[in-house]
Amino acid sequence: MGFSIEIFDAAETKLRQLKTKAEAEAKERHDVFCEHCPEYRELENTLSKTGSRLMCSIFDPESDVEACVSQLKKINDETQARMTELLHKNGLSEDYLEPNYSCKKCSDTGYIDGERCECLESLMKKFAFEKLNMSTPLGICTFESFSLENYPNEAAGGLSPRKIMEKTFLRCKNYAESFSLNSPSLILQGGVGLGKTHLSLAIAGTVIEKGYDVVYGSAQSFFNKIERERFGKAASYEDTLSLLISADLLVLDDLGSEFTTQFTVSVLYDIINSRLLAGKPTIISTNLNTEGIEQKYSDRILSRIHGNYNRLQFVGKDMRFTLRRVKSEKNL
């Protein structure tokens, strides 16, 4: 997966900050403990001196290096044992004075034997997801800010739009709160302005708060970005398609409003099929009904969605129009 220099630098900077913080905190713990227990610092000085004595013996042609090493090893072992004893005596673990690095494998350097550590790769991926979501109003559309009051409560046979939307709302909320990597994929279907974007954003926000990698965006914006990258109109290091496929949860909003080409159909199939094969949940919101999906895309795409996605129905009148009318009436 390709990442921009901006993403790479941000990840390395974050690791340096984590490393500096861990080492500063360790130094503070060390200084406080040595002030409380001066013997510990004296023992550290002893260790330092044995190291210097060893170096001197190595470069001294008249020295018995083997005997010196044996003697110094005995001193070191006894010194270290006493240091450990002092820590335990004060109710502390043996590694209490060591830096508590966020990554134990690379000690927050980002590299192991010259190769990128998985912590650096993970950070770059995280920052890439955040960059994709930068323009998404996640904080605005929440479950708390969603209102059922403007959905008609009158039924023309069967359940009223408000009752149907109450069920849809609860299913979305339960989905977000219980989300896991084994959660099913969803397709949110209904007309314009019925709350699909609001609730899909609310799901995305809740899932992000749970610590998962989520990518949210309109189908049009993603397809345009992937096309620019594929045909050399954007920096070659970007790989939006890989990010969409690898995210823990992908929310593909407003599918069907984009200009459809053979390329976009191919990309959509690749996204849907790859995520299904990887067992990764996807949420698609669309104004298209089943027949519309088949006509605009293909029966292969419809088959993947119909056979693997749970359908949530959105009904009622365009909420944006309703809210504008309510506001106008209040201002009269």
Tens digits of per-residue pLDDT, 249-286? 999 999 998 888 999 999 999 999 999 999 999 999 99
Per DSSP, the three-state class of 250 is strand
Residue 210: per-residue pLDDT: 87
So where are the chain's domains?
A: 17-102, 133-331
Residues 235-248 have pLDDT tens digits of: 556 688 988 998 89
The tokens for 72 are: 């110094």
| Closest C-alpha to 248, from 212, 196, 208 | 212
| Residue keyed to tokens 């998962």 | 212
Assigned architecture for domain 133-331: 3-Layer(aba) Sandwich (3.40)
105-115 confidence digits (pLDDT tens): 999 999 999 99
Q: Would you say the pTM of this structure is higher than 0.85?
A: no
Question: How many alpha carbons fall within 13 Å on the CB side of residue 71?
Answer: 11
Weakest-pLDDT range from 207-221, 230-244, 282-296: 230-244
User: Both tokens of residue 211?
Assistant: 């610590």
Pairing status of strand 214-218 against strand 185-190? unpaired
List pLDDT tens digits, range 64-75: 557 767 777 888
Q: Phi/psi class of residue 316: alpha, beta or left (left: φ > 0; alpha: ψ in -120 to 50)?
A: left
Between strands 309-314 and 282-286, the pairing is unpaired
The percent of residues in the chain predicted with pLDDT above 70, rounded, is: 85
Output the CA angle 219-1-210, nearest 5 degrees. Answer: 65
Q: Is the pLDDT of residue 141 over 50?
A: yes
Residue 330 pLDDT class (50, 70, 90 cuts)? very low
Give the Cα separation of 96 and 82 in Å (integer): 15
